[in-house]
Structure 1
Amino acid sequence: MDSNPVAAQKKRSSLLDCIRALAVIMVVLYHIGLQAGSGLDPVATWFLQYGLLGVDIFFPLSGYLITSYLLTHHNKRDVGVFFMRRFFRIVPLYMAALAIYALGSIVTRTNLDTLHNLWQNAVFLTGWVIFHGDRAEVPYTITWSLSVEEFSYIILGLAALILRGRIGRILIAMTVGALALRFAINLAGFPNVYFYPPARLDSVALGGAVAWALHARCKILIPLLVTTVATWGLMQFGRVPFHTLLFLLITLMACLVIYIIVVYLPSMRTPLISAVAAIGFYSYFIYLFHYFNIVVLEVIQERFGMGLSFWPQSVLVLAMTYFQAWLSYRFFEGPLIGFGRRLETKLGPRPAPTSAEAY
């Protein structure tokens, strides 16, 4: 694994990374809008209202990529490689982000009342605790999405090992179970279902279903379109259907785009696409660290009497975080991921590479 970001990006699908770029930019602009408060133009207001749904675009893409790997790599050795790769891709940077959050809280004397609960984030329980407890007691709440992804990885990895080629059954169970649970929770009126990992598994599973359909050479464009329109229609039948199916609608739309890219535009690459894809390549870092830069920029503005509007703040935050992400991958993430790849040789001969392995 090359720690050179440019070399690493060439091994990936640029258009799929563009999906990641869109998702993370939506989240960043949402948080900047929260800080800005009032006085936003219509476009900025849209991001304030809907930007958080960018997280829901990440889930099906993750499901597609990891299922693509597991459908063809499901013996004991391969599943071990899967979990090892997930560990080196996710955990070191995540722990670094938690350490910086803790240090920042101590230095600035903010959020000290919840800092003792950071252990919950460290064991990927953020989403669980937000739902079952008090959200105000949870630090660094954006890490809730890692709770969903890690829970999904465990389920799909074990399913690939135990069920081997029948992973489709687990994908169906995850989708139906999550939708039923989300409907029941919304019907009962409990808050914070948005963050609850078991009620969000359908987003990852449906991305996995796209991978399964492509592996089985099924043409699913029309069924996806029909299901998307039907979901939108069912959302109009009241509050409970709307809140239950909104995330499903976003997932289905993302699955449509993924399917079209993989089937019809697999190798499309232009300078503009590559530039946007570079943001997607660093999306994990940007997601974890962008809010730190929002706070730093806010402190700088207060100290020097600056009053930057929404869009200049957005450009600055994205630029700062992108540069930090490049440094992190070049000198921290990339070398660690490469170290993990070298460890794979101890698990036995390496399997033939697939297009999903770069992720």
Structure 2
Amino acid sequence: MRFESYLRTTRFASLDGLRCLSILPVIWHHATPRPLEGILGRGPFGVDLFFAISGFLITTLLLREGEGISLKNFYVRRALRIFPLYYAVLGLYALRGWLLLPDSPLRNHFLRNLPFYSTYTSNWFVDFDVPHAIVFGFSWSLAVEEQFYLVWPWVVRKRGPLHLPAVFMLGCIVLDYALEHGHLAAYIDSAGLGHRMLTSIATPICLGAVVAYVLHFRKSFSAADTMLGRRCSAPILLLALAGLLAADGTPLFVIHIVMALLVASVCIRGDHGLAKLLDIPMLRLVGVVSYGMYLFHVSVITGVKWLLPDAWRLAPVLFVLATCITFAIAWASYRFFEMPFLGLKNRFRS
């Protein structure tokens, strides 16, 4: 019965709460003046959790639409969700760069790389090894996701044994691991474009996609349900994730696996052990507008730093103020700018 209930679920409410737990560490990371030790310095892993959620959700959507999926409709829906706000924010950054920023290496670097930000290729072509801050540099993760959206639907839709796309994703994980650990250094120049493109494969996205495949079929769902379908599974995995992040030297791959399992554990059953936390309306609302918060938060932190006196520029103060202001801006953007575009998505349902 739980498998049928899972297949009938059209929106996994707790994933919005999990998005909230993803965006807050990212804001904290950019509010701190320097990298911190221990779990307080693990803010960037919020992006990895975002990746795992995205890989799971997009793959689940594609599998449920089946062979009848219209790739045209899929890409139109993705464009309506992502492009309007992204290009609006990028346009504001460009106007600021042209009109307000003084002539400097920072300004020149941004304007020179504007074509790459505009085409979601910043993770391939932008030079991040520079001594100054990188304007719009946070968009590298959005480029990774867009590249995933571009390739993965074609793999899922290709006719053949249903397990082949999952095998493809596992191959991507192995390739990423081999490249990151230098096992292919004799074959691929670590300073070359090919290496940069291949290492843009995000293991958390791949693991999220594999988890979606496991849960989509009755036999594998039953096996996963045995381990991840208990009420205590989600709390244990969240605590395990926190412990792994707090410990020094934890293998990155282990952290990513636990993230993917956490995503699965809050989707297998609606009454999981974290439901009372992740389904809190405010947390879910933050998760709903988290895309806008990601796009706005760096600018908000910069503005808050500029307005606050030096004595108040402490990381906790910056974090609280920036989070509140960023949420307000993202909510207004979602309500009055993004919603009209999102309303058009229903015209392109397969």
Scaled by the length of structure 2, the TM-score of the pair is: 0.77
Which of the residues 286, 295, 299 maps onto 1:292?
A: 299
Q: Indicate the larger mover: 197-206 or 287-296.
A: 197-206
Which of the residues 180, 183, 196 maps onto 2:181?
A: 183
C-alpha separation in 1, matches of 2:168 and 2:271: 27
> How far 1:85 moved relative to its partner?
1.4
1:172 aligns with 2:170: yes
Conserved? CA contact 2:31–2:315, under 8 Å: yes
Residue identity matched to 1:198: L
C-alpha separation in 2, matches of 1:155 and 1:271: 31
Conserved? CA contact 2:62–2:69, under 8 Å: no
> How far 1:52 moved relative to its partner?
1.1
1:125 aligns with 2:117: no
Note the alpha carbon deviations across 1:124-153, whole angstroms, 9 max, x for none. Answer: 1111124xx453396411111012111111
Residue identity matched to 1:281: V
C-alpha separation in 1, matches of 2:175 and 2:112: 33
Conserved? CA contact 1:21–1:279, under 8 Å: yes
CA distance 1:310–1:139, shift in 2 (3 Å): closer
Q: Which residue of 2 aligns with 1:357?
A: none
C-alpha separation in 2, matches of 1:135 and 1:186: 23
Q: Which residue of 1 aligns with 2:217?
A: 216
C-alpha separation in 2, matches of 1:172 and 1:250: 16
CA distance 1:91–1:179, shift in 2 (3 Å): same
In structure 1, stretches of 5+ residues that fail to align are: 1-10, 39-43, 345-349, 352-359
Conserved? CA contact 1:147–1:197, under 8 Å: no
1:198 aligns with 2:198: yes
CA distance 1:258–1:170, shift in 2 (3 Å): same
Note the alpha carbon deviations across 1:15-65, whole angstroms, 9 max, x for none. Answer: 21122111111110000003xx59xxxxx7546521111111111110000
C-alpha separation in 2, matches of 1:163 and 1:333: 35
Residue identity matched to 1:129: F
Which of the residues 147, 154, 161 maps onto 2:143?
A: 147
Conserved? CA contact 1:73–1:79, under 8 Å: no
Residue identity matched to 2:145: E
Q: Indicate the larger mover: 279-288 or 216-225.
A: 216-225
> How far 1:161 moved relative to its partner?
2.5
Q: What pairs with 1:34-73 in structure 2 (closer than 5 Å)?
A: 34=33, 37=34, 46=38, 49-73=41-65
2:64 partner SS: coil
C-alpha separation in 2, matches of 1:128 and 1:223: 39
Q: Indicate the larger mover: 143-152 or 332-341.
A: 332-341
Q: Which residue of 2 aligns with 1:162?
A: 158
Scaled by the length of structure 1, the TM-score of the pair is: 0.75
Q: Which residue of 1 aligns with 2:4?
A: none
Note the alpha carbon deviations across 1:303-335, whole angstroms, 9 max, x for none. Answer: xx6624222221111111111111111111111
> How far 1:80 moved relative to its partner?
2.1
Q: Which residue of 1 aligns with 2:3?
A: none
Which of the residues 72, 79, 92 maps onto 2:71?
A: 79
C-alpha separation in 1, matches of 2:44 and 2:192: 14
Residue identity matched to 1:284: Y
Percent identity, aligned pairs only, is: 27
Count of aligned residue pairs for this structure pair: 310
In structure 2, stretches of 5+ residues that fail to align are: 1-9
RMSD: 3.5
Q: What pairs with 1:1-359 in structure 2 (closer than 5 Å)?
A: 12-34=11-33, 37=34, 46=38, 49-75=41-67, 77-105=69-97, 106-109=99-102, 111-114=106-109, 115-130=111-126, 133=127, 135-136=129-130, 139-163=135-159, 165=162, 166-184=164-182, 190=190, 196=196, 198-199=198-199, 200-217=201-218, 218=220, 219-220=223-224, 245-246=251-252, 248-265=253-270, 268=275, 273-302=280-309, 307-342=312-347, 344=348, 350-351=349-350
C-alpha separation in 2, matches of 1:264 and 1:113: 51
1:135 partner SS: coil
> How far 1:196 moved relative to its partner?
4.6
Q: Which residue of 2 aligns with 1:41?
A: none
C-alpha separation in 2, matches of 1:117 and 1:63: 28
Q: Indicate the larger mover: 16-25 or 183-192.
A: 183-192
Residue identity matched to 1:89: R
C-alpha separation in 1, matches of 2:71 and 2:20: 28
> How far 1:76 moved relative to its partner?
6.1
Runs of 4+ off more than 3 Å:
44-48, 74-77, 163-166, 185-193, 220-225, 264-272
Note the alpha carbon deviations across 1:191-244, whole angstroms, 9 max, x for none. Answer: 899x9553233221110111100112312378899xx9xxx9xx9xxx9xx69x
